[in-house]
Chain A
């Protein structure tokens, strides 16, 4: 596993705690990248310390673009300060980036190779690469930081940054969080997340409670005093991903000094916070000594990644929940065309789907239509948009509905687990443990689901493995209920077109009328969503009995795509879920 450790060079009353962090890494002989902001570069003592750390220990000196712009030039030109770079206008971003790079060059005598910002929008990345070509790598996003953290911070933390990769990626020119398709599409800077998050609990809850940041876990009341096995467990969860990604895994830790010294969201005394941070660093050393971990400067890691991880390479993550002790599995898949989450505790339904293939352009800033919302749009987000039904109607999700006589059972009600992951040159296959269903008349059956991930498409295979009475007549409905959006609130669905082919081909323009179109022997059912330049299609490979599409209502603003099949023993039902660019 590769590890980047980052320290924020924070002037003022927190500076002694930065020095404490530095003592830790130097005593442990760990490589650290120092993120220096403009205001710190104006303090001669801090500059002298940073230079000494570089000369004596080799620490990488890098540029922080997150905070601390204060300088005479900044006050004179920008005047009204926005909190973060990605929220300024393009003209102001250019001024600030030029100012920061100039300060860095003047202070240290060379160009930085690494930068950090909680979110570094694609416009800023391209300006940065133009002004400072040696830049290789940037902290450019916080995995799944958005709605849940906004709520959790009393609606005061305006970082909307969801739908991004969990690990390093090649940011695209039209959306920093979308992995580039090719060299032309790439900003020229490698992105890494702000921290490594728990890919089970950051989906279900706040990402800033469950991360490679011991004080974040303290914020979530995860530790019990000095007891904090979760910090090691999470690190090992990332190591586990080497099993599925050709031996590759990446972890980073970026703890600001304030987290070790009286942060208002931490009720533990400072000595506990400091000890927990030190313990995690010690664990890195222990792993390094066993050749399980390589600590690198950010620019070093950028070189490795560029040489060894080609643009477009898919990555997977098998998340296992180890704090509540549910043992729940989530499976994540990402490539330049989509990011998918399979929720095994809901029968293997899709819990989150980001259709990167639509290349929805998003940029943050006061002069951009998206303003502060930098997230990549979803078509399914089952936490924000209901998922399976448990109050009123269901919402965004997929499932298989199995009908026998007049009774229908929903695979979402079955717990499954990841049985096998196979990732090779031919693609990625995920097989789940069988889902067991029992009808009220006692008829029982088990169904296995397999996903195959290809370019912008997911092949879903359902196999009826066992059935207590083979003479029973069963139908199965492949079901996708979608929406689109970037938050928990619905967007305007006008303009969406739903269609079905088959014996009675039909289409409708979305008007919140809950109309249903049905056609015998349909092969495809489709929703075209012009707002995000994306289409979503279910396409039957196994001949379908019929297909149907259902429009939503204002009280249930979704579209539903369905294909019905005969479900027969020892037979497969195979369907493609296809995403495409649609203008």
Chain B
């Protein structure tokens, strides 16, 4: 499958970790947050998103109805 490129609009990964949607601003060098002091590049942010997803240990696991009954 082709690589999926992130969109240019990004949410702050630090604020997202607090379940808060804050759209990042961008200057010439990088993205920055006006709600907290986070700043970073697209690569930094994408890596932090990947870290955030680690909490969902079953995000690639299909649990069927029969399995749900036994769970």
B29 within 8 A of A: no
Of A318-326, A353-361, A513-521, the one touching chain B: A318-326
Interface residue from A219, A225, A323 paired with B56 (Cβ < 8 Å): A323
A residues less than 8 Å from B58 (CB atoms): 230, 322-325
> Size band of the B side of the interface?
20 to 34
A-B contact count (CB 8 A): 96
- Secondary structure type dominating chain B contacts: loop
A residues less than 8 Å from B11 (CB atoms): 264-265, 267
Interface residue from A205, A222, A233, A262 paired with B19 (Cβ < 8 Å): A205
A residues less than 8 Å from B61 (CB atoms): 229, 233, 322, 325
Closest chain A residue to B52 by CB distance? A221
* Apart from the given pairs A206-B19, A239-B65, 7 other A-B contacts in the complex at a CB distance below 8 Å: A154-B22, A219-B21, A227-B60, A230-B59, A267-B11, A269-B4, A324-B57
Closest chain B residue to A263 by CB distance? B9
A residues less than 8 Å from B64 (CB atoms): 236
Is A325 a contact partner of B57 (Cβ separation < 8 A)?
A: yes
B residues less than 8 Å from A267 (CB atoms): 6-7, 9-11, 49
Shortest Cβ gap from A226 to chain B (Å)? 7
A151 within 8 A of B: yes
Is A209 a contact partner of B19 (Cβ separation < 8 A)?
A: yes
Closest chain A residue to B61 by CB distance? A229
A267-B9, A320-B71, A322-B71 are contacts. A222–B56 as well, Cβ < 8 Å?
Answer: yes
Is A229 a contact partner of B35 (Cβ separation < 8 A)?
A: no
Interface residues of B in 11-67 (CB under 8 A from A): 11, 16, 19-23, 35, 49, 52-53, 55-65
Interface residues of A in 173-229 (CB under 8 A from B): 205-206, 209, 219, 221-227, 229
Interface residues of A in 246-271 (CB under 8 A from B): 262, 264-269
**B-contact bits for A107-118, CB 8 A (1 contact / 0 none):** 000000000000
Shortest Cβ gap from A268 to chain B (Å)? 7
Is A324 a contact partner of B56 (Cβ separation < 8 A)?
A: yes
Is B59 a contact partner of A223 (Cβ separation < 8 A)?
A: yes
**B-contact bits for A143-170, CB 8 A (1 contact / 0 none):** 0000010011110000000000000000
In the assembly, what is the distance between CA of A264 and CA of B21, in Å? Answer: 9
Is B5 a contact partner of A237 (Cβ separation < 8 A)?
A: no
In the assembly, what is the distance between CA of A269 and CA of B3, in Å? Answer: 11
Is A154 a contact partner of B20 (Cβ separation < 8 A)?
A: yes
Interface residue from B1, B7, B21, B63 paired with A154 (Cβ < 8 Å): B21
Interface residue from A230, A240, A264 paired with B65 (Cβ < 8 Å): A240
Shortest Cβ gap from A316 to chain B (Å)? 15
Shortest Cβ gap from B55 to chain A (Å)? 6
A contact set with B: CB distance below 8 Å: 148, 151-154, 205-206, 209, 219, 221-227, 229-230, 232-233, 236-237, 239-240, 243, 262, 264-269, 272, 320, 322-325, 327
B residues less than 8 Å from A205 (CB atoms): 19
Is A237 a contact partner of B20 (Cβ separation < 8 A)?
A: no
Is A224 a contact partner of B53 (Cβ separation < 8 A)?
A: yes
A residues less than 8 Å from B52 (CB atoms): 221
A237-B68, A267-B9 are contacts. A152–B21 as well, Cβ < 8 Å?
Answer: yes
A residues less than 8 Å from B69 (CB atoms): 240, 243
B residues less than 8 Å from A266 (CB atoms): 7
Shortest Cβ gap from A109 to chain B (Å)? 42
Is A222 a contact partner of B59 (Cβ separation < 8 A)?
A: yes
In the assembly, what is the distance between CA of A243 and CA of B6, in Å? Answer: 41
A residues less than 8 Å from B10 (CB atoms): 267
Is B19 a contact partner of A224 (Cβ separation < 8 A)?
A: no
A residues less than 8 Å from B53 (CB atoms): 221, 224
Is B20 a contact partner of A152 (Cβ separation < 8 A)?
A: yes
Interface residue from A227, A323, A327 paired with B71 (Cβ < 8 Å): A327
B residues less than 8 Å from A230 (CB atoms): 56, 58-59
In the assembly, what is the distance between CA of A320 and CA of B62, in Å? Answer: 14
Is B6 a contact partner of A224 (Cβ separation < 8 A)?
A: no
In the assembly, what is the distance between CA of A454 and CA of B5, in Å? Answer: 54
In the assembly, what is the distance between CA of A175 and CA of B48, in Å? Answer: 43
Shortest Cβ gap from A330 to chain B (Å)? 13
Closest chain B residue to A242 by CB distance? B65
15 A-B interface contacts by CB (under 8 A): A221-B49, A222-B59, A223-B59, A224-B60, A229-B62, A230-B58, A233-B63, A236-B64, A240-B68, A262-B7, A267-B10, A320-B71, A322-B71, A324-B57, A325-B61
In the assembly, what is the distance between CA of A325 and CA of B9, in Å? Answer: 30
A230-B59, A267-B49, A322-B68 are contacts. A221–B9 as well, Cβ < 8 Å?
Answer: no
A residues less than 8 Å from B22 (CB atoms): 154
Is A320 a contact partner of B68 (Cβ separation < 8 A)?
A: yes
Is B19 a contact partner of A148 (Cβ separation < 8 A)?
A: yes
In the assembly, what is the distance between CA of A574 and CA of B58, in Å? Answer: 39
A residues less than 8 Å from B20 (CB atoms): 151-152, 154
In the assembly, what is the distance between CA of A223 and CA of B59, in Å? Answer: 7
- Of A206, A226, A229, A237, most buried by chain B (CB within 10 Å of CB) is A229
Interface residue from A153, A322, A324 paired with B55 (Cβ < 8 Å): A324
In the assembly, what is the distance between CA of A262 and CA of B35, in Å? Answer: 22
Is B4 a contact partner of A264 (Cβ separation < 8 A)?
A: no
Is B56 a contact partner of A153 (Cβ separation < 8 A)?
A: no
In the assembly, what is the distance between CA of A358 and CA of B52, in Å? Answer: 42
In the assembly, what is the distance between CA of A515 and CA of B33, in Å? Answer: 48
B residues less than 8 Å from A323 (CB atoms): 56, 58-59
Is A221 a contact partner of B16 (Cβ separation < 8 A)?
A: yes
Closest chain A residue to B5 by CB distance? A269
- Of A222, A226, A230, most buried by chain B (CB within 10 Å of CB) is A230
